[in-house]
């Protein structure tokens, strides 16, 4: 059973159809990369998965259960949407760390807020908060930042900020972790350290959906690659197929232009 | 030497100036926030109404507004005028609320969308995002323009004299009419001292918020 299954997902902004029916699925522990030209709808797809946009039509299923159905059933309350979001984590292109909090607090904050909803929060408050902090420390250690716990975002490099953002997303233990061009705002040197972290997550079988322009990285790290253009999935398959033997001309064109420059 | 009586009179006048200053702040700070929500409303008629109101208030002199509030009810409706200090406060509160609302708006709209979205994808509620994520960023952004506006208010209190409220400049003027110029300079020192204290206070707040950058 796929951990995530997307069927017929559509999204328009006014008269512009950005997603025209997206289907794909991903098994637990797999990494799926989405490549394609700018404006092809990759980011919108991720935003629909995280309910930052609500898809107009189609379904999103997690662990075999439909959690979102677009169309006339679109009347989900804020609280429901909030709960659905927790299946997913999202790492942004621009990190979006909270500037007034240290690296550690950035990672613990959301967990602390959620913990308040636990029935045993009052009784075990101290213990729970300790667990959250311990978990955050472990995650920051995992992304190689155990020496930066007390640093504020502006004191960190872009690569370090993005690694904090990854730890922050992991802290809530999402079923699927999404990356929206995680290295596009970084120079090549810093890109490497972030990709290394994502690679290590792939080795630990973290289920991931990665929108990226780093073709070599997508080839190395993914189990499946999705090529999108004009709001549809043009071609998908294992990286070997997409990168070495694309079946569709459009895929070939795109990759050739990419390798050419 | 009339130093002591002049000092006492000026202090009384300054007391009136301070009352205008503090009461204006107490009412216009929250009212400004309400107006800023209006000018950011998704409901277009409310938004345009609010923005027109702000345009009118910011586009006409406070002195004019003060005179309208004081003389208007009597001359237009034949009603009793507000007590002088009340009229001053009404005009000042409305005027300053309009200015503050624009400062709030710029501060709130200045928080990048990504901050809200980051909170959302982390499962935070709207109020958690407001109080835990954006509020402090907004405050940090608005401290410098608010400091500016509040220091302007200190000096604007002197406009109250146009409807004969005995604030410090008017008091000083009574001495000048008797041939003394120095009480005017002396009155200026009160403003300087007060603004100096405010400047120190705002610098302190800015410094307290300088541990992060937005």
The tokens 């690679």 sit on which residue? Answer: A199
Which of A107-111, A256-260, B33-37, B110-114 bottoms out in mean pLDDT, i.e. has the lowest? A256-260
Q: Any chain A CB within 8 A of the CB of B121?
A: yes
End-to-end CA, chain A: 40
Q: Which two tokens stand for residue B132?
A: 């835990």
- Measured CA to CA in angstroms, residue A97 lies from A80, A105, A249, B117 at distances of 25, 10, 40, 11
The full set of domain ranges for chain B reads: 3-113+123-153+166-208
Contact in structure between A84 and A68 (CB atoms under 8 Å): yes
**Closest by Cβ to B114, choosing from A92, A101, A168:** A92
ipTM for the complex shown:
0.92
Residue B64 has pLDDT above 70, yes or no: yes
Quick check: A98 and B115 CB within 8 A?
Answer: yes
Which contiguous run of DSSP H or E holds residue A66? strand A65-69
Residue A261 has pLDDT above 60, yes or no: no
Quick check: B123 and A88 CB within 8 A?
Answer: no
Strand, coil or helix: what is A5?
A: strand
pLDDT, tens digit, for every residue of A47-91? 999 999 999 999 999 999 999 988 765 578 888 899 999 999 999
Which contiguous run of DSSP H or E holds residue A64? none
Residues of chain A in contact with residue B132, where contact means CB-CB under 8 angstroms, are 109, 113
Contact in structure between A102 and A151 (CB atoms under 8 Å): yes
Q: What's the mean pLDDT when you consider all of chain B?
A: 93
Q: In what order do the strands lie in the sheet with A232-237?
A: A88-91, A176-180, A208-211, A31-35, A224-229, A232-237
Task: Mark out chain A residues that contact chain B at CB-CB < 8 A.
Answer: 50-52, 78, 82-83, 85-86, 88-90, 92, 94, 96-101, 109-110, 113-114, 152-154, 168-169, 172
**Distance in Å, alpha carbon of A108 to nearest chain B alpha carbon:** 11
pLDDT, tens digit, for every residue of B133-183? 999 999 999 999 999 999 999 999 999 999 988 999 999 999 989 888 999
The tokens 């998704």 sit on which residue? Answer: B42
Q: Which two tokens stand for residue A65?
A: 């259960």
Burial class for B78, CB neighbours closer than 10 Å (0-12, 13-18, 19+): exposed
Report the residue of chain A nearest B125, measured CA to CA.
A82
Quick check: A86 and B123 CB within 8 A?
Answer: yes
CB atoms within 10 A of CB B93: 19
Cα–Cα nearest to B151, from B184, B89, B110, B193: B193
CATH of domain B3-113+123-153+166-208: 1.10.3720.10
Quick check: A168 and B122 CB within 8 A?
Answer: yes
Quick check: A97 and B133 CB within 8 A?
Answer: no
Q: Any chain A CB within 8 A of the CB of B128?
A: yes
Residue B1 has pLDDT above 60, yes or no: no
**Distance in Å, alpha carbon of A220 to nearest chain B alpha carbon:** 28
**A101: Cα separation from own chain's centroid:** 22
Residues contacting B104, CB < 8 A, separation 6+? B32, B33, B36, B138, B142
CB atoms within 10 A of CB A55: 26
DSSP E strands in A72-168: the ranges are: 88-91
pLDDT, tens digit, for every residue of B90-130? 999 999 999 999 999 999 999 999 999 999 999 999 999 99
Q: A90 - beta bridge partners? A: A178
DSSP E strands in A146-253: the ranges are: 176-180, 208-211, 224-229, 232-237
Mutate to test the interface with B, among A83, A99, A103 (most CBs of B within 10 A): A99
Burial class for B181, CB neighbours closer than 10 Å (0-12, 13-18, 19+): exposed
**A250: Cα separation from own chain's centroid:** 26
> What whole-number distance in Å separates Cα of residue B154 and Cα of residue B163?
18
Residue A241 has pLDDT above 60, yes or no: yes
Q: Which two tokens stand for residue A252?
A: 């070939």
Quick check: A98 and B118 CB within 8 A?
Answer: yes
Residues of chain A in contact with residue B117, where contact means CB-CB under 8 angstroms, are 52, 92, 96
Cα torsion angle, A126, A127, A132, A138, sign: positive
Q: Which two tokens stand for residue A56?
A: 């107009």
Contact in structure between B171 and B9 (CB atoms under 8 Å): yes
Which of A197-201, A257-261, B106-110, B180-184 bottoms out in mean pLDDT, i.e. has the lowest? A257-261
> What whole-number distance in Å separates Cα of residue A188 and Cα of residue A29?
28
Quick check: B117 and A96 CB within 8 A?
Answer: yes
Residue A258 has pLDDT above 90, yes or no: no
């Amino acid at each position: 059973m796929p951990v995530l299954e997307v069927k017929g997902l559509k999204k328009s902004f006014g008269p512009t159809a950005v997603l025209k029916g997206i289907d794909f699925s991903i098994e637990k522990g797999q990494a799926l990369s989405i490549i394609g030209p700018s404006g092809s709808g990759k980011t919108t797809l991720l935003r629909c998965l995280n309910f930052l946009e609500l898809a107009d039509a189609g379904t999103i299923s997690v662990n075999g259960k439909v959690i979102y159905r677009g169309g006339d059933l679109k009347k989900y309350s804020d609280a429901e949407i909030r709960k659905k979001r927790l299946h997913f984590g999202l790492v942004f292109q621009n990190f979006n760390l909270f500037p007034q909090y240290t690296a550690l607090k950035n990672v613990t904050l959301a967990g602390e807020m959620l913990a308040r909803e636990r029935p045993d929060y009052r009784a075990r408050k101290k213990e729970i908060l300790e667990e959250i902090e311990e978990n955050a420390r472990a995650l920051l250690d995992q992304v190689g930042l155990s020496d930066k716990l007390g640093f504020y975002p502006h004191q960190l490099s872009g690569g370090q900020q993005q690694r904090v953002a990854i730890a922050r997303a992991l802290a809530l233990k999402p079923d699927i972790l999404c990356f929206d061009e995680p290295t596009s705002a970084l120079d090549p040197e810093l890109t490497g350290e972030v990709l290394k972290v994502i690679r290590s997550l792939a080795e630990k079988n973290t289920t991931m959906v990665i929108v990226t322009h780093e073709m070599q990285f997508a080839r190395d790290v993914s189990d499946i690659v999705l090529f999108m253009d004009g709001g549809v999935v043009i071609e998908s398959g294992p990286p070997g197929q997409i990168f070495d033997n694309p079946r569709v001309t459009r895929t070939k064109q795109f990759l050739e232009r990419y390798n050419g420059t | 030497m009339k130093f002591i009586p002049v000092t006492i009179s000026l202090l009384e006048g300054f007391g009136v100036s301070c009352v205008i200053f503090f009461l204006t702040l107490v009412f216009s700070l929250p009212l400004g926030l309400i107006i800023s929500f209006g000018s950011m409303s998704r409901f277009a008629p409310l938004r345009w109404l609010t923005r027109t109101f702000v345009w009118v208030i910011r586009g006409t002199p406070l002195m004019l507004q003060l005179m309208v509030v004081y003389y208007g009810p009597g001359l237009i409706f034949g009603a009793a005028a507000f007590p002088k200090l009340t009229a001053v406060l009404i005009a000042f509160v409305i005027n300053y609320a309009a200015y503050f609302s624009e400062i709030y708006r710029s501060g709130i709209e200045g928080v990048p969308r990504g901050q809200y979205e980051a909170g959302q994808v982390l499962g935070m509620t709207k109020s958690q995002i407001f109080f835990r994520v954006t509020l402090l960023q907004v405050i940090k952004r608005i401290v410098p323009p608010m400091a500016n506006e509040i220091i302007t208010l200190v000096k604007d209190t002197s406009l109250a004299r146009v409807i004969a409220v005995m604030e410090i400049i008017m008091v000083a003027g009574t001495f000048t009419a008797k041939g003394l110029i120095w009480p005017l300079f002396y009155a200026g020192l009160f403003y300087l001292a007060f603004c100096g204290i405010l400047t120190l206070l705002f610098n302190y707040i800015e410094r307290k918020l300088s541990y992060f950058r937005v």
